[in-house]
Amino acid sequence: MGTSKLIAGLLGPLLVLSGVMVLANLDLLPRLVEDFRTTPTLVVLAGYLTFIPGLAIVRFHNRWCAGWPVLVTISGWVLTIVGVLRVVLAYRLVDPATDIVQQLWPAMGPLAMLEVALGVFLSYQSLRRG
């Protein structure tokens, strides 16, 4: 449980920060998405920055058990897979990915709130006794 709490204590605040950033900048996100479309190198860099923590989580916390720690494992696998896709397929995925983000635009606020909620939950679990 110590590893679960350690990783949740890092991942939780990161999710909260990311969700709050989206909520605070909803009007600026189309510009950010367009920056990725015009500069696929940013996608590759983001891929490496996603892959590294994902791989670390998978290496140290690949636990498929009942309870909240499985959220840590799932997060690790998602980060790893997304990181690989961004690095390997960056130049092929930029246009379809930005189109998908633009189609999902109305859901960005609720998705960001879900991300904040997950981050708060993981942060709470990391601080909880027992």
Tell me the per-residue pLDDT of 52-95, one tens digit each, with 9 for 90 and over: 999 999 999 999 999 999 999 999 999 999 999 989 988 887 77
Per-residue pLDDT averaged across 2-10, rounded?
A: 94
Q: How confident is the model at residue 129 (pLDDT cuts 50, 70, 90)?
A: confident
Angle between the 2-24 and 69-103 helix axes, to the nearest 10 degrees?
Answer: 20
Residue 104 CB neighbours (<10 A): 10
Q: How many residues does the chain have?
A: 130
Mean pLDDT of the chain: 90
pTM as predicted: 0.84
Q: How confident is the model at residue 130 (pLDDT cuts 50, 70, 90)?
A: low
